């Protein structure tokens, strides 16, 4: 970054600036000739896509803030005013609203890429940790953003999530009061959430800067997980990756635009078009889709943890849920130390690959579980006399419609698999993947032969193509 | 390469799949699926239907429901002339003021006024409706899942209550309503509103028209949005093709 030996630019204006502040040299070095592995696949596109989304969110967000009013009596109507009376207000709002979802889609794929190809491993641990920090900040930002339109889900989502902090021992209630700025989710809450929602994206921007800086120190990983060994393994970033990234970005934006223009509310909840009402609780309070897996983990802990065979409760269910939810992200944070296998890429680690794909499947199932009511029953069977079983069935049906409860005298045993159990099952796998499978594979897994260099891998691939 | 793109798509689809939110408790009937002119990527509103729907809204629903987000001037989008809107607005009285003497006064509504609320406040609305609040209808089709079909099904779905459902005074049975019980009496009946264009004056037709109108009230930007969307997608697709060509050319001697 320092002056040093700087190459002169032909353009006199550029040269004048660069000799005083070498920004052009910097860009040239970091984005022009920056040596980049030649074998990236399209998974390597999602960092640039996430960057594009961040900028999109900041630009549309600031534009919305010019018309938005953060008081509980006016927030909902001010958003509707933007939708109806502000020129192209609907466009800006739908871009921002769906942008949050597509930002998360990009970042989830980006994180998956890192896991699959072992990008979190030495020497990229700090780069990875900065990424998880960005992810956490994004979740905080998105959560607070969702509160701003002050619809029913805004209000009740905020109430449920802020209440979680009351589970924290000793200081819990104080934290909640601080978050609320009072004694319930109200005007003060909305105002501080707006202030923070405006602030956090810039904090994210700063962390992204560090993230990319760290990337440019270690250089990028690549699908083989083998470090580049020389010029034959890399290409200059420009024009190779600038053009490839632009192409990928546009394909991504096409899908994004299809949502913005043709199904702008498909990813949202209809209840958020009902103004917030503290007196009416929605039938099911569900967070935005990108939080659902974590919400499922939160709800999976339905039992107190204590010393067995005594009445002593160490961790109440509510606190347990909160710990499990945040723990799920802490596990990501320490992943570089849980997986110490010397081979990076899942391509050459058959067991890691399988267990990781099951993990991804598990997260998707958790997302589904998070969207369903906790007591939803997927399968059940009744062991006992036929009559008794029928009685429980009938009781079930009638209770729904009229609220009558006829309790059968001799209750049969009902075996069932419900939504909570589904969430518990995959929460266990989530934790086991990090805490059992990764350390175990680190020691036991026999990797497939890895190519000597990127160059060799690329050549082998094109040869295979030719002989076909 | 193809594999990774496919897997990205698969993940994206799986995520979208998981988005489906829960339907309310109990067995709620699935809304009838109608063929609306405004659905689909090229959807537009039918102005005649909008005007008929407005007529139904104004002569039936407006006696209980507000339509807060719509001003008379917005009705231009239904195809009314400025003069027509002036006359239309003048049928309503709004309270204005204070005047120079500090008094509030009533005057005929102007195009810039918003649709007046049938009740002075929420308590009055509840009191007049057996304790149930008739919600504002400006966003109704967005505020329910599958909104347009839902409201249509609700309006045409009133039935005699099955045996196990006990209705209290002021309650009606409607299988499309969450829980099956609704406090709104069936608002529509055949021949209730006269149409000038010869369209059938049936409950079914009224329901279709008023839903058309309510969908416009909820999404007045829909036509502009879809029109722009088609242009944006065409532009982006061409851009993507060009970039694909550029990328291939640049990468030509690398592979
Ligand atoms: C605001 C969100 C984010 C932005 C804008 C962003 C941006 C970027 C960019 C531009 C790159 C280089 C291109 C690439 O390799 O794809 C990158 C690399 C990377 N990011 Fe992110 N990122 C974000 C979030 C995250 C998160 C949440 C994580 C992980 C938890 C993460 C982990 C990584 C890793 C490990 C790399 C290096 C990958 C490699 O070289 O293989 N990033 N990021």
B94-101: average pLDDT: 94
In contact, B182 and B129? CB cutoff 8 Å: no
From the CB of A204, is ligand 1 less than 6 Å away? yes
Helix, strand, coil percentages for chain B (3-state, nearest 5): 45, 5, 50
Provide the mean pLDDT of chain B.
Answer: 90
Going from the C-alpha of B182 to that of each of B131, B168, B179, the distances in angstroms are 12, 10, 8
B6 interfacial to chain A (CB closer than 8 Å): no
A310: number of Cβ within 10 Å: 7
Q: How high is the pLDDT of residue B5?
A: 44
What 8-state DSSP symbol labels residue A451? P
Q: In degrees, to the nearest 5, what angle opens at C-alpha B248 toward C-alphas B242 and B252?
A: 150
User: What residue's CA is closest to ligand 1, atom 16?
Assistant: A47
Of B5, B22, B25, the CB nearest to A371: B22
The residue assigned the tokens 């860009």 is A27
With a 6 Å cutoff on the Cβ, whether A215 touches ligand 1 is yes
- pLDDT score at A186: 97
- State the pLDDT confidence band at B139, using cuts at 50, 70 and 90: very high
pLDDT at A393: 64
d(CA B60, CA A369): 42
User: Among A81, A107, A251, A273, which would you mutate to test the B interface (most chain B Cβ atoms within 10 Å of its Cβ)?
Assistant: A273
Mean per-residue pLDDT, B229-244: 98
Q: Of A49, A40, A104, which is closest to residue A252 (Cα–Cα)? A: A49
Planar angle of CA A82, A86, A91, nearest 5 degrees? 70
Q: If you average pLDDT over residues B85-109, what whole number do you get?
A: 95
Does the beta carbon of A100 lie inside 6 Å of ligand 1? no
What are the E-state strand segments in A43-182?
Answer: none
Question: ipTM for the complex?
Answer: 0.89
Predicted TM-score of the model (pTM): 0.91
| pLDDT surpasses 70 at B225 | yes
Residues of A forming the active site: 216, 220, 244-245, 288
Instruction: Give the Cβ contact number of residue A280 at 10 Å.
Output: 11
Task: Please tell me the CATH code under which domain B139-186+199-220 is placed.
Answer: 1.10.760.10
* Nearest-CB residue to B233 (from A257, A283, A364): A257
Length of chain A: 468
DSSP, collapsed to helix, strand or coil, labels residue A247 as helix
Give the SS3 label for residue A268: coil
Q: What is the pLDDT of residues A94-110, one digit of tens each?
A: 999 999 999 999 999 99
Which residues of chain A are under the pLDDT cut of 70? 1-4, 392-410, 468
Q: How far apart, in whole angstroms, are the C-alpha atoms of residue A80 and residue A90?
A: 9
Nearest to A42 among B4, B20, B69 (CB): B4
- Looking from the CA of residue A134, the nearest atom of ligand 1 is 27
Shortest CA distance to A41 belongs to which of B3, B13, B10? B3
Closest A-chain CA to B68: A77
Cβ of A148 closer than 6 Å to ligand 1, yes or no, is: no
B254 band by pLDDT with thresholds 50, 70 and 90: confident
**What is the enclosing helix (H) or strand (E) of A315?**
strand A313-315
Rounded-to-integer distance, Cα B98 and Cα A209, Å: 56
Closest among B110, B186, B113, B114 to B153, alpha carbons compared: B186
Residue ranges of B 75-134 with Cβ closer than 8 A to chain A: none
- Sorted by where each begins, the domain ranges of chain B are 139-186+199-220, 225-255
> What pLDDT score was predicted for residue A392?
67
Main-chain dihedrals φ then ψ at residue B243, nearest 5 degrees: -65, -35
């Amino acid at each position: 970054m320092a002056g040093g030996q700087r190459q002169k630019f032909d353009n006199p204006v550029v040269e004048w600036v660069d000799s005083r502040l070498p920004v052009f040299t910097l860009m040239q070095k970091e984005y022009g000739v920056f040596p980049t592995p030649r074998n990236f696949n399209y998974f390597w596109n999602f960092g640039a896509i996430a960057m594009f989304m961040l900028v999109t969110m900041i630009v549309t967000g600031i534009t919305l803030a010019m018309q938005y009013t953060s008081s509980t009596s006016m927030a909902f109507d001010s958003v509707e005013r933007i939708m109806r009376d502000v020129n192209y207000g609907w466009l800006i709002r739908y871009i921002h609203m769906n942008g949050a979802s597509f930002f998360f889609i990009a970042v989830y794929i980006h994180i998956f890429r890192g896991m699959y190809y072992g990008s979190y491993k030495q020497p990229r641990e700090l780069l990875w940790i900065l990424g998880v920090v960005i992810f956490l900040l994004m979740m905080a930002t998105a959560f607070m953003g969702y509160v701003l339109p002050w619809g029913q889900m805004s209000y009740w989502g905020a109430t449920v999530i802020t209440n979680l902090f009351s589970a924290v021992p000793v200081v819990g209630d104080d934290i909640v009061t601080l978050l609320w700025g009072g004694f319930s989710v109200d005007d003060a809450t909305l105002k501080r959430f707006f202030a923070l929602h405006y602030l956090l994206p810039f904090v994210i921007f700063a962390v992204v800067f560090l993230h990319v800086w760290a990337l440019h120190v270690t250089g990028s990983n690549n699908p083989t997980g083998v470090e580049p060994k020389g010029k034959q393994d890399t290409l200059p970033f420009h024009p190779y990756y600038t053009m490839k990234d632009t192409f990928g970005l546009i394909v991504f934006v096409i899908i994004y635009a299809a949502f913005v223009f043709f199904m702008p509310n498909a990813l949202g909840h209809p209840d958020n078009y009902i103004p917030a009402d503290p007196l009416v609780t929605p039938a099911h309070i569900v967070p935005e889709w990108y939080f659902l897996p974590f919400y499922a983990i939160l709800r999976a802990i339905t039992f107190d943890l204590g010393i067995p065979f005594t009445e002593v409760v160490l961790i109440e269910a509510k606190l347990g849920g909160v710990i499990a939810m945040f723990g799920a992200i802490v596990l990501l944070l320490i992943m570089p130390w849980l997986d110490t296998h010397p081979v990076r890429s899942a391509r050459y680690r058959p067991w890691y690959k399988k267990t990781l794909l099951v993990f991804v499947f598990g997260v998707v199932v958790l997302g589904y579980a998070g969207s369903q009511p906790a007591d939803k029953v997927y399968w059940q069977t009744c062991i006992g006399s036929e009559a008794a079983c029928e009685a429980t069935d009938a009781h079930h049906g009638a209770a729904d419609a009229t609220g009558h409860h006829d309790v059968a005298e001799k209750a049969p045993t009902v075996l069932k698999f419900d939504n909570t159990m589904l969430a518990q099952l995959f929460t266990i796998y989530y934790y086991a993947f990090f805490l059992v499978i990764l350390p175990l594979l680190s020691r036991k897994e026999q990797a497939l032969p890895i190519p000597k260099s990127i160059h060799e891998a690329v050549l082998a691939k094109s040869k295979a193509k030719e002989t076909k | 390469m193809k594999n990774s793109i496919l897997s990205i798509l698969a993940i994206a689809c799986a995520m979208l799949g998981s988005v489906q939110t829960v339907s309310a408790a109990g067995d709620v009937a699935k809304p009838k699926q109608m063929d609306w002119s405004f659905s689909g990527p090229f959807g537009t509103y039918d102005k005649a239907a909008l005007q008929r729907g407005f007529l139904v809204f104004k002569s039936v629903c407006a006696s209980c429901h507000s339509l807060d987000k719509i001003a008379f001037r917005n009705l231009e989008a239904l195809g009314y002339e400025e003069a027509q809107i002036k006359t239309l607005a003048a049928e309503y009285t709004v309270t204005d003021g204070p005047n120079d003497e500090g008094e509030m006064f009533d005057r005929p509504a102007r195009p810039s006024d918003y649709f007046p609320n049938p009740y002075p406040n929420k308590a009055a609305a509840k009191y007049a409706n057996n304790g149930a609040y008739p919600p504002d209808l400006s966003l109704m089709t967005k505020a329910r899942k599958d909104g347009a079909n839902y409201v249509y099904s609700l309006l045409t779905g009133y039935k005699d209550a099955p045996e196990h459902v006990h209705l209290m005074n002021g309650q009606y049975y409607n299988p499309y309503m969450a829980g099956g019980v609704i406090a709104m009496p069936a608002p529509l009946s055949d021949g209730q509103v006269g149409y000038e264009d010869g369209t059938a004056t049936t409950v079914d037709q009224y329901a279709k028209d008023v839903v058309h109108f309510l969908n416009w009230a909820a999404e007045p930007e829909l036509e502009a949005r879809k029109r722009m969307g088609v242009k944006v997608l065409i532009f982006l697709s061409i851009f993507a093709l060009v970039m694909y060509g550029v990328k291939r050319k640049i990468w030509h001697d690398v592979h």
